[in-house]
Amino acid sequence: MTATPNAGPSPPPQSFAALRLPGYRAYFLTSALAMMADSVEHVISYWMMFQKFHSPALGGFAVISHWVPFLLLSFYAGALADRFDPRRLIQLGMVLFMIASLGWGVLFVTDTLEMWHAAVLLTIHGMAGVLWAPAGQLLIHDIVGAAQLPSAVRLGATARWLGLLFGPAVGGAILSLFGPAHGILLNAAFYLPVIWWLWRAPYGPRFRTGPVVPSRAVRGFADIALTVRDIAGNRTIVSMTVLVGFASLIIGSGYQAQMPAYAQDLGHGDADMTYSLLLAADAAGALAAGIVLEGRNLLRPRPRTALWLAMLWCAAVGGFAFATSYALALALLFVAGFVSLAFNAMSQTLVQLHAPAAIRGRVIGLYNMAGLGLRAFSGVTVGLGGTLIGVHASLGVSAAVLLVIIVGLLVVTVHDPAAEAAPAD
């Protein structure tokens, strides 16, 4: 028998595979700039709100207005991305970001900021993020395809953490150099590159080569129920969505809000570099995960792998809760950030790969409702429980409860061999 001429070992997987594609490289760079602008706006606007009003209630509303839109509207944003060009939805989100920055700037310049102005602008900012999230995930699917989607999602998550890590530094520098009014007006310009690139980027429904898949009309709450029924039999989508939902609800970023208490108990309660390192440790771990995992092309997306990584996250967070050594606490936060990026990026990739093409935006919207929307309530167990049993015990109990839930999800996926194979695009 004659050997097939092209037979041979498959080529080794490439590091930073998605960045080798010019289209994704352009979107990555321009969207990373927009993510930085998002963080810079928070730095300047939160500082000015505090200086103007000294209102804890307004600070609480800032958190609510950021995450509640994801809870209420993510599904419908995903449904719109199914029916319309995701490029235009992302551009609309960027325009809303710019309106928010320009609005802050005008009010700062004229010194006419009132609390209701701040509430409106914070809500506009939250709406902008909702429009961007599902549409952006659909767009990267179009840009890179199924083969490079794990790399693209992980790099996108890395860019978000990069913005969280360096955004405050850039925002502080802009605030110092230009002042709050001119600084936030300048910040609006950082959204322009992604708007400009998306205008003629050759991706989206018009450029798909496969068969056209009609998308059903948006039907309000009934559409959510129908989509849930459509995916109920897919254990991968269900388990990954339940995973990120419970992770956001039970722990989320709630321990960050309690960091002053943890730092004080560790003997570093002053506002110095040691406290800042605790705040930045998990972001640094997530950034390291993006670089290491992409550089070595590690961790193929599998439901069980995502669940094991989430269990490691619970262990790291729980360990941090009871750490009595500052160095150990710092190391555990770094590990928590590392595995957090790994399991969140993997779960998102799996949901996108397994979602039916006709309702992919809706499925991503449901995923974002769970993973992002439920962050509006993140830390309730840590914060309220902390008033009863202390923040250390409440965080430890929260991590233990989440660990039990993840073990249950792991049992479910063990009996679903089909979940280990991602479908072709």
Domains defined along the chain, listed by start? 17-205 (1.20.1250.20), 219-425 (1.20.1250.20)
Does 271 have pLDDT greater than 60?
A: no
Which range, 40-54, 57-71, 190-204, 247-261, is most confident?
Answer: 190-204
Q: Which residues contact 161 (CB under 8 A, 6 or more apart)?
A: 283, 286, 287, 290, 337, 341
Task: Place 290 in a pLDDT band, splitting at 50, 70 and 90.
Answer: very high
Does 326 have pLDDT greater than 50?
A: yes
Condensed to tens digits (0 to 9), the pLDDT of residues 137-170 reads 999 999 999 989 999 999 999 888 887 777 777 8
Residue 123 pLDDT: 95
Location of structure tokens 């978000």: 160
Q: How far is it, in rounded angstroms, from Cα 235 to Cα 224?
A: 18
- Long-range Cβ contact pairs of 275-284 (< 8 A, separation 24 or more): 277/330, 278/329, 278/330, 278/333, 280/165, 281/330, 281/333, 281/334, 281/337, 282/333, 282/334, 282/336, 282/337, 282/340, 283/161, 283/164, 283/165, 283/337, 284/165, 284/334, 284/337
Does 417 have pLDDT greater than 70?
A: no
Q: Is the torsion defined by CA of 118, 119, 120, 122 positive or negative?
A: positive
Residue 181 pLDDT: 93
Q: For 256, which DSSP code?
A: H
Condensed to tens digits (0 to 9), the pLDDT of residues 12-26 reads 567 888 999 999 999
Q: How far is it, in rounded angstroms, from Cα 365 to Cα 226?
A: 13
Contact predicate 148/13, CB 8 Å: no
Residue 166 pLDDT: 76
Radius of gyration in angstroms for the set of CA atoms belonging to the chain, rounded to a whole number: 22
Helices of type H across 145-265: 149-187, 192-200, 221-231, 235-250, 254-257, 259-265
3-class SS string, 370-386: HHCHHHHHCCHHHHHHH
Average pLDDT over residues 339-361: 94
Task: Place 5 in a pLDDT band, splitting at 50, 70 and 90.
Answer: very low
Task: Place 420 in a pLDDT band, splitting at 50, 70 and 90.
Answer: low
Q: How far is it, in rounded angstroms, from Cα 184 to Cα 108?
A: 9
Task: Place 97 in a pLDDT band, splitting at 50, 70 and 90.
Answer: very high
Does 423 have pLDDT greater than 60?
A: no
Residue 260 pLDDT: 75
Task: Place 354 in a pLDDT band, splitting at 50, 70 and 90.
Answer: very high
Does 124 have pLDDT greater than 80?
A: yes
Residue 279 pLDDT: 76
Does 358 have pLDDT greater than 70?
A: yes
pTM of the model: 0.88
Residue 424 pLDDT: 43
Q: Which range has the worst mean pLDDT, 119-128, 134-143, 377-386?
A: 377-386
Q: Is the torsion defined by CA of 180, 185, 190, 191 positive or negative?
A: positive
